[in-house]
Amino acid sequence: MIQVPAGTQALLFDCDGTLVDSLPLYLQGWLRAFETAAGHVLAPEWFHGRGGLSEQMVLDLLEAELGRTLDRPAIVGAARQAVLEILPDLREIGIVADLARRYRAALPMAVASSGSRQIVVASLTHTGLLPLFDTVVTVDDVRRPKPAPDLFLEAARRLNVPPAGCLVLEDSTEGLAAADAAGMRAVDVRPYIMSSGRPHASSQA
């Protein structure tokens, strides 16, 4: 079970790969969008280890590798639409979602994600998790995505909690680096998800 240290004043959750098992959906959406909007077939393996990157960071890497400028609005729009179409397949990650349920009445909580507001809010709404949180901060609200600390600092500001009082729940290298840069404690949820053996299991029926 994920432990919340004594003295914690707020919980800040990443979304994709932490609260919801959305990374497989993103993979499908981006592969489809990139082939349709850019005329290029990407190997699924290309996205391995890049789940913590924002849309624009992904496109930066792709442009550098391909050596050409891409139609970013077309690719992003197609990718988001593809994800929304398969959103009914999205499931929560039970061990983390249950932690949020346990602390809903005890601590202020926020979601801080490098994803777009459109997709993050849709994901949390679909899984029924949105009402658990006092605020949702996305890449649309800050200048820099993770690994910069901007998302977590903005979430702490909205909750009126000092950074040192926040505990971050994260599944990516970029997110953990962002928490460290923000002066916050963090929990890497990946070992807990793996050890649970049932990432979608929840106490909620």
Which sequence positions are flagged as catalytic? Answer: 14
Residues 6+ apart with CB under 8 A from 68: none
Residues 6+ apart with CB under 8 A from 48: none
For residues 89 and 205, give the distance between their C-alpha atoms in angstroms, rounded to a whole number: 17
CA distances from 172 to 4, 40, 48, 114, 187 (A): 19, 27, 12, 11, 10
Other Cβ atoms less than 10 A from the Cβ of 70: the count is 17
- Output helix, strand, coil percentages for the chain, rounded to the nearest 5: 50, 10, 40
